[in-house]
Structure 1
């Protein structure tokens, strides 16, 4: 009996991915605080290198991952009944939730007046080198060659080329099967490689969070306290208010189960600040929640490049009000309607990458607000981008659940038991001695 007990005590204990990320967050905060309080430049540099290397590895696979994911996802729709209906319903729910999110952002901005009492002036702003406009957005969709979008990481153009290739493959039918087989194999290879990078997320968390604390501290945030709070409150309302309400009413499922299943992806998104980098994990958790693989393989990549409730709805709404108040530019009802329009139509401009500067410049240019307002917000953008991206990814997992539930495709038994089942053997875990 004692031998058996002793053997059992030495069995490894699996530490869940969310616990690894949480440990990285705590350690990162402590190291960042230590580096800043003790003025340890070597530690700041180390944290910056660790975090930068992790993000660099994520971005390394972004271009080919997006291309093959979109191509394969479009061709996979042929395996789904009522594919056109599913695609249209997905897009419709993307738009509905974006409208709700932008409305919440506008209400919060109008109630709190984030630009008042900051001490900031127009002189503190600096126009960005690159800005977004509707002309750039519309003409920028179509690439001039097939190489530049990959070398310059223009995700919107990559999505366009992948969509064209996918639709062409559908039209060719069996003749395109060798290309589709190759594309599926390449996609599997890329996702496997990205899983290895995702396993490094706890270490990357230490560097990213530690560097943010060491670099920004709390002094800079003080000037942006109301604005920062507005972004976090708005995103949290959408995350834990709007999304659960939609799950309970539109999908008629238990919202708690959704967060149990989707939490690893939401957590990774918070740290990595990249919807596309999180995409393989988002797709895993979406399938884990009972969404059919064929539909999830379309909806998640589509959402990772177009569904941005945090970056493209809440953030530009509050940011536009903030900039208008700093520059003393009055906004009317027509301006608020324009913000909603930009948020719904222009969200693809964010393209699932770290940061939402393009979307912000697109919004400001549409309203005729000074581009110098962007410079005011870049200083604290990494801190804001964490909660924005977490909200984005939660929405990207939510909509496939809602649509598949309403269309009778959701495996409800799988959804209801999601907490007791690991994602699969590839789920990032670490073993420790018990």
Structure 2
């Protein structure tokens, strides 16, 4: 009688675990490269991380354009689209205001810029600066090519929004263009998904580079500031968002993290909300948000919803800069910080870093722009947590709105599992009708 053979199978490692493994290995290799001054290892980590970011960025410009265009046209398939868009924007502003208040409170309690010994000579000049005039005039491009070659996401969003509204106005005659745009978007998302699958390797290189290049010698000078950013973002990410999910959406917050964790992790590694956008949209849909609404809310949020970069960070950074340069801030200054954070968050435009948003805040307050240069050195370290918070908020708000409007698929929400993103998409469910 022949023996029964059993085929041994290697268990599949969940995507989140792969990224976590990349983070751990990257930190260890970065420490080894720094402590042993291993040049070839430093170069290798730098190249691995750099290539991963380059692959993400190469599709960002066309992805943003077609995602915004298609998302606007998709609103025609959603009941009460104008109300959904308005409430989405309103919740963006509410959560941004909560985040900036938390940032201000932490900054006032900890005095991040006191006793650092830093001066303007310790910083580098920022390559990009922002002011309200630059922000308002910079929305409209001078031509249709430059925004794509220079990766000016704000101008790309403007052109896409205009094109989307024009498609809706033209109607049936614009259907061929809309069909082409939807096909191109699918193609770009597929390519970017291939890049996202390389995230564990990319995280190894990026974290390894951060460890060997910056290390504790740099972080120690900004210890309070760095801790403030991480604590502030953690409070928003793990306290504010869960409270809103539990009280407003009336869903289990733990289910949200189970479903959205892959996008949050990728955001932490890549430091790009736009680069993470396809994965953010995918997890948001799996958490029960209707596809037509999610395809509007997530791309819109990826370019305007920045609780980490545009709320917590500029609030604490402004206090830091004021203390370093011994400039007293008054109550009206803190109100201005909140105003800039809530209204001007589109200036961050979903790209790596928040330098433009910080310069916009400092210029509004009349603080020395040299303070931006001081924070450039530590920016890659704090930007990881900022971007993770951004992306979590970009998924939380559509869930809040969908729940309030009665279109959230609660069964899908309760069964969402981010570790199974590679599986086939769940069958489309018909959303409940929206009350008038």
* 8 Å contact from structure 1 (residues 195, 426) kept in 2: no
Structure 1 pair 361/413, CA: closer, same or farther in 2 (3 Å)?
same
Name the counterpart of 2:148: 150
SS of the residue corresponding to residue 279 of structure 1 reads helix
Q: Deviations over 1:138-187 (max 9, x none)?
A: 00000010000000000000000000000000011111110000000000
CA distance in 2, matches of 1:421, 1:127: 42
- Return the alpha-carbon distance in structure 1 between the equivalents of residues 114 and 298 of structure 2: 39
**Conserved 8 A contact 2:302-2:394:** yes
Q: Residue 161 of structure 1 aligns with which residue? A: 159
- The CA distance in 1 between the partners of 2:144 and 2:82, in whole Å, is 28
Q: Which residue of 1 aligns with 2:14?
A: 16
Structure 1: any 5+ residue segments left out of the alignment?
Answer: 428-434
SS at match of 1:12: coil
Given the superposition, is the C-alpha separation of residues 383 and 287 from structure 1 closer, same or farther in structure 2, using an over 3 Å criterion? same
Measured against aligned partners, the alpha-carbon deviations of 1:383-417 in whole angstroms (never above 9, x if no partner) come to 00000000000000100000000000000011011
The separation in 1 between residues aligned to 2:44 and 2:419, in whole angstroms, is: 37
Kept in 2: contact 1:126–1:373 (CA 8 A): no
Shift of 1:3: 5.7
Q: How does 1:4-403 map to 2 (within 5 A)?
A: 7-8=6-7, 10-403=8-401
Q: CA RMSD in A?
A: 1.4
Q: Deviations over 1:279-300 (max 9, x none)?
A: 0000000000000000000000
CA distance in 1, matches of 2:35, 2:3: 50
| Aligned-residue offset at 1:420 | 8.6
Are residues 258 and 228 of structure 1, via their aligned partners in 2, closer, same or farther at CA, if it must alter by over 3 Å?
same
Residue 11 of structure 2: SS of its match in structure 1? strand
Query: Relative to structure 1, is the Cα distance of residues 3 and 131 closer, same or farther in structure 2, using a 3 angstrom cutoff?
Result: farther
- Provide the C-alpha distance between the structure 2 equivalents of 1:125 and 1:271, rounded to a whole number of angstroms: 25
Q: Hey, what's the Cα distance between the residues in 1 that align with 2:421 and 2:135?
A: 38
Question: 4+ runs of 1 displaced by more than 4 Å?
Answer: 1-4
Contact 1:67–1:162 under 8 Å retained in 2: yes
Deviations 1:201-254 (A, max 9, x none): 000011000000010111110010000000000000000000000000110100
TM-score, normalization by structure 1: 0.96
Once residues 197 and 109 of structure 1 are traced to their aligned partners in structure 2, the CA distance between those partners, rounded to angstroms, is 37
Deviation at 1:421, TM superposition (A): 7.9
Could you tell me how far apart the structure 1 residues matched to 2:298 and 2:325 are? 39
CA shift digits 1:346-394 (9 cap, x unpaired): 1001010100000000000000000100111101100000000000000
Matched position secondary structure for 1:86: helix
Superposed displacement of residue 274, structure 1: 0.2
CA contact (8 A) 1:310 1:391 kept: yes
Q: For 1:391 and 1:325, locate their aligned partners in 2 and report how far apart those are by CA, in whole Å.
A: 26
Q: Deviations over 1:87-133 (max 9, x none)?
A: 00000000000000000000000000000121212332344243100
- SS of the residue 2:12 aligns to: strand
